[in-house]
């Protein structure tokens, strides 16, 4: 993993780790490519950092904290498995990153959308 990939992924989770208490929209914007490609079970395929920031702020507003279970990195790619503490219980997430040109270029997020909503996600 490149130092840049490690730094960006670390910064991303630092922004999200405590929900709104740690959420920093400007810091997040600085590490995302403007044309970020995002894929998730609720949002579907989204292009654009601004659309992603709007969506992830809802997650940060609901989530009370996250616990990293496992991270793997190879070159400019990284993956993470973590548990997010929601108002109604814990939800497990897997997230896959592609980094280039000093920014996160793509994010693919996998989780059970029904479980997420049932536990208070929006």
Q: Give the chain's domain count.
A: 1
pTM of the model: 0.93
Q: Report how far apart the first and last C-alpha atoms of the chain are (Å, whole number).
A: 33
The average pLDDT across 44-56 equals 95
- Residue 2 pLDDT level (bands cut at 50, 70, 90): low
Residue 113 clears pLDDT 50, i.e. is over it: yes
Query: From CA 102, how far away is CA 7, in angstroms rounded?
Result: 10
CATH of the domain at 27: 3.10.450.50
71-104 tens-digit pLDDT: 999 999 999 999 999 999 999 999 999 999 999 9
- Give mean pLDDT, residues 17-45: 96
Q: Please, are residues 32 and 103 in contact by the beta-carbon 8 Å criterion?
A: yes
Residue 3's pLDDT is what? 87
Question: Is a pLDDT exceeding 70 seen at residue 1?
Answer: no
Token code pair at residue 82: 């973590």
* CA gap 67, 46 in Å, rounded: 26
Kindly state the average pLDDT of the residues 16-31: 96
Provide the domain limits for residue 74. Answer: 3-118
Q: What is the mean pLDDT of the chain?
A: 95
Task: Confirm if 32 and 104 have CB atoms less than 8 A apart.
Answer: yes
Nearest-angstrom CA–CA distance, 66 and 89? 12
């Amino acid at each position: 993993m490149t130092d840049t990939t490690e730094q960006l992924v670390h910064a991303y989770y630092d922004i999200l780790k405590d929900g709104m208490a740690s959420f920093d929209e400007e810091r997040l914007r600085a590490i995302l490519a403007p044309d970020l490609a995002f894929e998730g079970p609720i949002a579907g395929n989204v292009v654009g950092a601004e659309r992603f920031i709007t969506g992830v702020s809802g997650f940060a507003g609901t989530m009370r904290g996250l616990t990293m279970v496992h991270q793997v990195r190879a070159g400019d790619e990284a993956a993470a498995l973590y548990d997010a503490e929601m108002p109604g219980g814990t939800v497990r997430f897997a997230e896959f990153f592609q980094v280039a040109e000093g920014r996160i270029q793509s994010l693919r997020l996998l989780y059970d959308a029904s479980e997420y909503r049932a536990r208070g996600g929006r």
